[in-house]
């Protein structure tokens, strides 16, 4: 049995997407792949019921037989570190042992297990439940998923080596075209010099990075007035339309697949904005728009979402919306697999693990 422990320096680095892509590539080769997440992150799906969406996704897509709790032992970090800390003071090994036990139960069932770390490399460091410490406990090599900031990578390397854990190497994820030249010209030679193995980079992909209009709806609540059938449209960015029509259009014309946040009474702005590359209309303050706006939006296949929040609150919520992968999104999952297959030396990862 082989395994890797996927670790990153910051949130939203794309660990889960990479894990999923790698697992699917290996499965295609006939390798049985398991997934383990030592510390889960719960989202409350209904009162009192928390699930980790990453775990649910991997379990569904990889067709894993284990229960959610077997893949990720329930450890209630979400209840706050205060009680967590108290537990640690009583019995420092309590959680650690539970994790090791759970891992031991599944590890022999697979040829290869992908272990996914918590958001950041240092999370739960105080309680010796951070990714580096756990990688040693689970006897697994660390693979860093990074966005190419070399100082962050070197810091992690030093930490891992200083703690006597094993570092497999690194991959870069979500790399913009303008970074490519720097990676080839500067970063790869640098990583070579410091003896850090580099398995490749995955280019930025709008389709993977952009949340859908539906994700905006989930985050903002409110009511979809028209365009329910286009709710899977990708939204690349969100912009407030609060200025004079002409000034606003000058800016809005520069964006593709954007969400326009404005009051429902701004017919003067919404109407011409429907002729731009808009993907979602978010009308704030519960101001129902002119019916003609809805007709035009429907013709243009643009969903219209009416929300209660005022404009600035809406915008702030929009900033927190991230693209998620749902097991239903077959095309997106295929895209994830192909992006790993085409850009990462994944066979080598398996060999080196």
Partner 1 sequence: MKLDTFFNVKSIAVIGASNNKRKVGYAILKNIIDFGFKGRIYPINLHEKEILGLKCYSSVLEVEDEIDLAVFVIPAKACLSIAEECGKKGIKNIIVITAGFKEIGIEGARLERKLLAICKKYDINALGPNVLGFIDTQNKLNASFTNVFPKPGNVALISQSGAIITSSIDWSIPENLGFSKIISLGNKMDLNETDFLEALSEDPHTKVILMYVESIDEGQRFIEVAQQVVKKKPIVAIKAGVSDAGARAASSHTGALAGSKVAYFTAFKKCGIIQAKTLEDLFNYGMALSTERTPKGNSVVIITNAGGAGILATDAAEEAGLKLTAFTAEEVELFRANLPKAASIHNPIDVLGDARADRYKFVLETCAKIEAVKGIIVLMSPQAVTEFKETTDVIIDFYSRNAHIPLVVCYLGGLSNQDAMHRLRTHGVPCFSFPKDAVQAMAGIFKYSVILQQESERYERFGVDKSSCDTIFRKVLNDNRLVLLESEAIQVAKYYGLPTPETRLARTPEEAIEFANKMGYPVVLKISSPDILHKSDLGGIIVNITKPAEVRGSFNTIIRRVSKRMPNAKIYGVTVQKMIEKKGKEIIIGANKDPQFGHLLMCGFGGIYVNFLEDVAFRLNPVSRKDALEMLSETKVYRLLKGVRGEPPSDIESLIDAILRISQLLTDHPIINELDINPLLVYRKNEGVSILDIKITLKREEK
Query: Nearer Cβ to partner 1, position 79 or 287?
Result: 287
Q: How far is the CB of 334 from partner 1 (least distance, A)?
A: 20
Query: Nearer Cβ to partner 1, position 250 or 330?
Result: 250
Q: How far apart are CA 79 and CA 76, in angstroms?
A: 6
Query: Nearer Cβ to partner 1, position 109 or 301?
Result: 301
Cβ-Cβ contacts under 8 Å for 195 (sequence gap 6 or more) = none
Q: How far is the CB of 216 from partner 1 (least distance, A)?
A: 19
Q: How far is the CB of 251 from partner 1 (least distance, A)?
A: 7
Q: How far apart are CA 53 and CA 57, in angstroms?
A: 6
Q: How far is the CB of 193 from partner 1 (least distance, A)?
A: 19
Query: Nearer Cβ to partner 1, position 65 or 254?
Result: 254
Q: How far is the CB of 333 from partner 1 (least distance, A)?
A: 21
Q: Binding residues for partner 1, per CB under 8 A?
A: 176-178, 181-182, 204, 206, 226, 236, 250-251, 253-256, 267-268, 271, 275-277, 290-292, 294-296, 298-300
Query: Nearer Cβ to partner 1, position 151 or 181?
Result: 181
Q: How far is the CB of 255 from partner 1 (least distance, A)?
A: 7
Query: Nearer Cβ to partner 1, position 12 or 271?
Result: 271
Query: Nearer Cβ to partner 1, position 28 or 342?
Result: 342
As a three-state string, the secondary structure of the chain is CEEEEEEECCCCCCHHHHHHHHHHHHHHCCCCEEEECCCCCCEEEECCEEECHHHHHHHHHHCCCCCHHHHCCCCCHHHCHHHHHHHHHHCCCHHHHHHHHHHHHHHCCCCEEEEECCCCCCCCHHHCCCHHHHHHHCCCEEEEEECCCHHHHHHHHHHHHHCCCCEEEEEEEEECHHHHHHHHHHHHHHHHHCCCCEEEEEECCHHHHCCEHHHHHHHHCCEEEECHHHCCCECCEEEECCCCHHHHHHHHCCCCCEEEEEECCCHHHHHHHCCCCEEEEEEECCCCCCHHHHHHHHHCCCCEEECCCCHHHHHHHHHCCCCCCCCCCHHHHHHHHHHHHHHCCHHHHHHHC
Query: Nearer Cβ to partner 1, position 111 or 236?
Result: 236
Does residue 175 contact residue 181 with C-beta atoms inside 8 Å? no
Q: How far is the CB of 267 from partner 1 (least distance, A)?
A: 6
Q: How far is the CB of 258 from partner 1 (least distance, A)?
A: 10
């Amino acid at each position: 049995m082989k395994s890797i422990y996927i670790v990153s320096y910051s949130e939203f680095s794309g660990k889960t997407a990479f894990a999923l892509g790698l697992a699917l590539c290996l499965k295609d080769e006939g390798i049985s792949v398991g997934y383990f997440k030592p510390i889960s992150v719960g989202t409350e799906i209904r009162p009192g019921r928390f699930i980790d969406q990453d775990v649910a996704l991997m379990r569904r897509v990889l067709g894993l037989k284990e229960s959610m709790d077997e893949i990720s032992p329930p450890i209630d970090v979400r209840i706050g570190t205060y009680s967590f800390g108290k537990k640690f003071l009583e019995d420092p090994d309590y959680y650690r042992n539970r994790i090791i036990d759970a891992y031991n139960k599944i590890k022999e069932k697979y040829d290869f297990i992908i272990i996914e770390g918590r958001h950041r490399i240092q999370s739960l460091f105080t309680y010796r439940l951070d990714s580096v410490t756990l990688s040693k406990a689970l006897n697994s090599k660390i693979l860093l998923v990074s966005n190419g900031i070399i100082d962050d990578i070197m810091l992690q390397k030093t930490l891992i080596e200083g703690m006597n854990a094993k570092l497999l190497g690194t991959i870069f994820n979500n790399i913009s075209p303008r970074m490519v030249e720097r990676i080839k010209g500067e970063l790869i030679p640098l990583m070579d010099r410091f003896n850090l193995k580099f398995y490749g980079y995955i280019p930025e992909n709008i389709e993977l990075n952009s949340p859908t209009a539906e994700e905006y709806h989930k985050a903002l609540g409110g009511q979809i007035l028209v365009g329910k059938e286009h709710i899977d449209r990708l939204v690349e960015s969100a912009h407030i339309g609060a200025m004079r029509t002409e000034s606003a259009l000058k800016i809005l014309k520069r964006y593709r697949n954007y969400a326009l946040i404005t009051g429902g009474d701004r017919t003067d702005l919404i109407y011409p904005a429907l002729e731009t590359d808009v993907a979602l209309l978010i009308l704030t303050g519960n101001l129902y728009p002119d019916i003609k706006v809805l007709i035009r939006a429907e013709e243009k296949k643009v969903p219209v979402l009416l929300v209660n929040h005022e404009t600035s609150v809406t915008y702030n919520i929009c900033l927190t919306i991230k693209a998620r992968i749902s097991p239903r999104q077959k095309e997106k999952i295929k895209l994830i697999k192909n992006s790993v297959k085409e850009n990462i030396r994944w066979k080598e990862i398996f060999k080196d693990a």
